[in-house]
Amino acid sequence: MDTRPIGVFDSGLGGLTALRELARLMPQEDLVYFGDTGRVPYGSRSKDTIIRYAQQDVAFLNTFSPKAIVIACGTVSTTALDALRQQCAVPLYGVVEPAARAAAGLTRNGKVGLIGTQATIRSGAYERALSALRPGTQVTARACPLFVPLVENGRFRPGDIVVETVVGEYLEEVKAQGVDTLMLGCTHYPLLREVIGACMGPQVELVDVGAACARWVNAQLAAQDQLAPADRKGSHRYFVSDSTGDFATLASMFLGEDVTGDVEQIDITVY
Ligand code: DGL
């Protein structure tokens, strides 16, 4: 039994899709979320910058003495995990391994699509994990740089002509390859699930990498007897690096429910 909190972070608010699943699976846990809303997006930045930002995000969450930190960001998980692990004694959970396990288990024809930010696709991390788990898997990868700004601006609903056009263009090649599984390699993308699902067709399984990571973290903590007591009610605290003004409205989109818990703005550059 361990009642220390679980830290969760993302470049922005996309990681709340993972927090939503963590809270559903482990309502007894205290969750501390940091969204680097003042510096989002990370996905178009260099590896060095992503590592530097992520080191500050981890240093901030470490001030809460967490039992685990969840990297609820495809970009940081694919680009900075090794560098972060070298400097952090707290267990760090990224999305790549659990998501690759989910995709490897789902694909029947061995053809997997992958969409993510530019940094994620450049890293090749999902491909490496998949080929280790299921040798011979054919991965068709596509960077989708417009998805994060669209989602952060509330543009993700079916029938939105801009969203439908961008999704159609980005997914054209992945679809043409006949993939039966598509990894939504960025934690912002589950909001586009309906539009992406309609574009790919019902025969294609979609892997939500943040949710896969949340299930993995739950299983790991349970196996190590590190879950908080089941009769406890966990608290949720939110921190952002930009103004908290629109947080409740935007965050409720990602959480699928109203935000409960405090939100505070912090200066991430001091960590
Ligand atoms: N949610 C982040 C990810 O999973 C968004 C990336 C970004 O900030 O560009 O990659």
Residue 72 has pLDDT above 90, yes or no: yes
Helix (H) / strand (E) containing 22: helix 16-25
pLDDT band at 236 (very low <50, low <70, confident <90, very high): very high
With cut-offs at 50, 70 and 90, classify the pLDDT of residue 152. Answer: confident
Q: Using the predicted structure, report yes or no on whether residue 153 has a pLDDT greater than 90.
A: no
Is the pLDDT reported for residue 257 higher than 90? Answer: no
- Amino acid 246: pLDDT: 83
Mutate to test the pocket of ligand 1, among 187, 207, 209, 268 (most ligand atoms within 8 A of CB): 187
Which residue's alpha carbon is nearest to atom 2 within ligand 1?
73
Rounded Cα gap, residues 39 and 37, in angstroms = 5
* Rg over CA atoms, the chain: 18
Cα 185 to middle of ligand 1, angstroms: 9
Average pLDDT over residues 51-67: 98
Domains and CATH numbers, the chain: 6-94+211-270 (3.40.50.1860), 96-209 (3.40.50.1860)
CA distance 155 to 149: 9
Atom of ligand 1 nearest to the CA of 42: 8
Percentage with pLDDT > 70 across the chain: 100
Which ligand 1 atom is at minimum distance from the Cα of 76?
Answer: 10
What is the distance between the alpha carbons of residues 111 and 179, in angstroms, rounded to a whole number?
Answer: 5
Nearest atom within ligand 1 for CA of residue 75:
10
pTM over cut 0.85: yes
Residues designated as active site: 73, 186
Sign of the dihedral through C-alpha 147, 153, 159, 162: negative
- Residue from 113, 32, 45 nearest 78 by CA: 45
Greatest Cα pair distance, the chain, in angstroms, is: 50
106-118 pLDDT, tens digit each? 999 999 999 999 9
How many angstroms is it from 1 CA to the middle of ligand 1? 32
| Strand order across the beta sheet in which 68-71 lies | 92-93, 68-71, 6-10, 31-35, 236-240, 263-265
| CA of residue 188 to ligand 1 center, whole Å | 7
Q: Distance from CA of residue 145 to its chain's centroid?
A: 15
What is the pLDDT confidence band of residue 12, given thresholds at 50, 70 and 90?
A: very high
Q: How far is the C-alpha of 100 from the C-alpha of 103, rounded, in Å?
A: 5
Rounded to the nearest whole angstrom, what is the distance from the C-alpha of residue 12 to the centroid of ligand 1?
Answer: 7
pLDDT bucket at 78, cuts 50 / 70 / 90 = very high
User: Mean of the pLDDT values across residues 57-79?
Assistant: 98
- Which pLDDT value is given to residue 256? 87
Residue 174 reports pLDDT greater than 90: yes
CA of 2 from ligand 1 middle (Å) equals 30
Mean pLDDT of 8-24: 96
How, if at all, do strands 111-116 and 181-184 pair? parallel
Beta strand 236-240 with 181-184: parallel, antiparallel or unpaired?
Answer: unpaired
Residue nearest to atom 8 of ligand 1 (CA): 41
Residue nearest to atom 6 of ligand 1 (CA): 43
- 194, pLDDT greater than 90: yes
Q: Which residues approach ligand 1 with their CB closer than 6 A?
A: 10-12, 14-15, 40-43, 73-75, 117, 120, 148, 186-188
Q: Over 90: is that where the pLDDT of 259 sits?
A: no
Region 135-140: what's the mean pLDDT? Answer: 97
Q: How far is residue 165 from each of residues 15, 149, 156, 174, measured CA to CA in Å? A: 25, 15, 11, 15
Mutate to test the pocket of ligand 1, among 186, 209, 213, 250 (most ligand atoms within 8 A of CB): 186
What's the rounded mean pLDDT across residues 231-247? 94
